[in-house]
Structure 1
Amino acid sequence: MFFPRARRVLAALLLCLLLFTTACAPKTPGRFDQAQQESSRQRSGQAVAKDSTQGSEFNKFFPSADAGYQRVYTQEKKGFAEAKLKKDGKDLAVLSINDTQAVKGAANPAAKFVNSPKTIAGYPAVSQGSTGTAILVANRYQVKVQSRDASFTEAEREAWIQKFNLGGLARLAKAQ
């Protein structure tokens, strides 16, 4: 009778010892830990410029939703605002405005517009891949439309860029 009870006690002690040693062992790094550390290290030196425009100020310059389209704001932070353009519940495009002076220490995003032969509404324009079109307003604000559906063409992107309140955005740049 003594041995069966001793085996149970010994088994319980060994189980506790096993749990204790594995719980206190150092954690092995996960497969994404290295990438997270590198990403955090890269962003730690960057900061948003103090004179950047608040993202909430950009909202009034976005085109209004009309003719069955729906505009849904998705992101707003200092120097940037973004909205999705939807129709019949389908994401057609992403509309955005960003302050090219927002990020300190980075290459100036406005540089790509310097030698642009193309213009939209009188502002220098560039194509960004096969799905993006952007203009630079008052050498400061980039207005961009990116297709999220293959049916949303370059001509439609250009038309939606012209629906932004570009004059108001230019006045905001001069007031800054």
Structure 2
Amino acid sequence: MILFRGRRVLASLLLCILLLTTACATKPPSRFDQVQQESTKQKTGQAVAKNATQGSKLNKFFPEGDDGYDRVYTQEKKGFSEANLKKDGKVVAQLAISDTTSTPTVASKYSNSTKEIDGYPAVELGKTQTSILVGKYQVKVISKDPLFNASDREDWIEKFDLDGLEKLK
């Protein structure tokens, strides 16, 4: 009986120590906490300009899907609209239009551009992104499949209604 009581006391003591050490330990931030912090910094550090174009108004300038490609809108907010370009159900590229009113530094990167697409200054970022500046709007195509190359990105940029977008105020 004394042996059984000793085990119970020992088990209770170990359980208390375990609870005390785990309850007081600081847990590292989860990936969700980190994203929340970054998102909050963006909201407080960089607001969307009041005169930025609504994303829904940008949708009509996106190219239609053709030749086996489907365009699927994925995001739309003030100053920005985005769509996935799918082929055979797989996302091969992202298409985006953003109003640079809120981010003038984005527009400034085109000032030294030596490349043009359809008469507009163009910039390539790495091996996956091609973009142009149309008035105050940045039109961007991002490869999501290695087979969707720079030439494909340029072809899809030219399919946007660039003239209509340039007239949008």
TM-score band (shorter)?
0.7 to 0.9
* Paired residue type of 1:161: I
1:10 partnered with 2:6: no
Residues 28-85 of structure 1: CA deviation (Å, up to 9, x unaligned): 5358699669746753422222222222222221111112111122222322221111
* Runs of 4 or more consecutive aligned structure 1 residues displaced over 6 Å after TM superposition: 31-38
Task: Name the count of aligned residue pairs.
Answer: 168
Distance 1:45 1:121, change over 3 A: same
Q: 1:23: how far off?
A: 4.4
The aligned residue for residue 164 of structure 1 is 160
Q: Compute the RMSD of aligned alpha carbons.
A: 2.9
Uncovered stretches (5+) of structure 2, i.e. residues with no partner:
none
SS in structure 1 opposite 2:109? helix
Alignment of 1:45-124 (within 5 A): 45-103=45-103, 108-124=105-121
Contact kept? 1:85, 1:94, Cα under 8 Å = yes
Q: Measure the CA separation in 2 of the matches of 1:163 and 1:23.
A: 58
Identical positions, percent: 52
Distance 1:29 1:147, change over 3 A: closer
Q: TM-score, normalised by structure 2?
A: 0.80
Q: 1:9: how far off?
A: 4.0
Distance 1:26 1:109, change over 3 A: same
Distance 1:93 1:29, change over 3 A: closer
Q: Measure the CA separation in 1 of the matches of 2:148 and 2:28.
A: 43
